[in-house]
């Protein structure tokens, strides 16, 4: 896949925080992958780009085992399996991970893959635009909104992505169990 992370980045993420990488397998084939890393608020505040937030995708320089934020580095689902809710299932398991680790929230930077088609719109107008069904126009923002993530910030020059015109949107999911308890009964193994 063109936008897939290089193998050395994936290996580094797994070595840094192996619990933060999940894969989905169907018929002995990997059809989805998500990687995360625990970071702190200082890293989020300081970083201007995805590359700074993820240590260029390697996670080493940003991992903070005492941090309270689970940052999503990447989510990829095989094109042939997109209608099987693989991405949603991976994200639900990431939310469980944030709850189990008593992390304050989960955050990630999203692409805006249709923005190039609507480049005459301002970025604020685009992220609020709806399609003919009344849904969020951008497919990635629509996907994350259905999972309960909220837009925190728009970032110009967030990463190199011609479809997004190099814009990214930082999204946030608040852990409703943060600070309530270390062990959530319904998540116990």
Q: What is the pLDDT of residues 61-107, one digit of tens each?
A: 999 999 999 999 999 999 888 888 999 999 999 999 999 999 999 99
Inter-residue contact 164 to 115 (CB < 8 Å): yes
Q: What is the pLDDT of residues 23-37, one digit of tens each?
A: 999 999 999 999 999
User: Can you tell me the distance from the alpha carbon of 40 to that of 46, in angstroms, rounded to the nearest whole number?
Assistant: 10
Q: What is the pLDDT of residue 1?
A: 42
Lowest model confidence (mean pLDDT) among 1-15, 35-49, 50-64, 161-175: 1-15
Structure tokens at 149: 């993530």
181 — pLDDT class (breaks 50, 70, 90): low
Inter-residue contact 112 to 141 (CB < 8 Å): yes
Inter-residue contact 189 to 139 (CB < 8 Å): no
Q: What is the pLDDT of residue 186?
A: 56
Inter-residue contact 104 to 178 (CB < 8 Å): yes
Beta bridge partners of 172: 107, 150
Q: How far is CA 9 from CA 12, 43, 47, 59, in A?
A: 5, 19, 19, 8
Query: What pTM value is reported for the model?
Result: 0.89
Structure tokens at 118: 């609507």
Nearest to 127 by CA among 162, 159, 151: 151
Q: 173 pLDDT exceeds 90?
A: yes
- Find the mean pLDDT for residues 12-23: 95
User: Can you tell me the distance from the alpha carbon of 6 to that of 119, in angstroms, rounded to the nearest whole number?
Assistant: 30
């Amino acid at each position: 896949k063109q936008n897939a992370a290089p193998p050395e980045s994936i290996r580094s993420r797994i070595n840094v925080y192996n619990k933060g990488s999940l894969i989905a397998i169907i018929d002995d084939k990997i059809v989805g992958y998500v990687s995360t890393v625990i970071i702190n608020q200082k890293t989020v505040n300081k970083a201007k780009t995805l590359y700074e937030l993820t240590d260029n995708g390697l996670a080493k320089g940003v991992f903070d085992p005492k941090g309270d934020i689970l940052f999503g580095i990447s989510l990829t689902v095989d094109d042939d399996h997109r209608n099987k809710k693989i991405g949603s299932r991976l994200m639900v398991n990431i939310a469980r991970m944030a709850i189990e680790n008593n992390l304050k929230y989960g955050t990630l930077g999203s692409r805006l893959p249709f923005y190039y088609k609507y480049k005459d719109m301002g970025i604020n107008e685009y992220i609020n635009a709806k399609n003919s069904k009344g849904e969020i126009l951008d497919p990635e923002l629509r996907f994350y909104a259905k999972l309960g993530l909220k837009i925190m910030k728009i970032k110009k020059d967030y990463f190199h992505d011609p479809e997004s015109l190099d814009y990214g949107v930082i999204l946030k999911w608040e852990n409703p169990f943060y600070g309530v308890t270390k062990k959530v009964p319904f998540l116990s193994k």
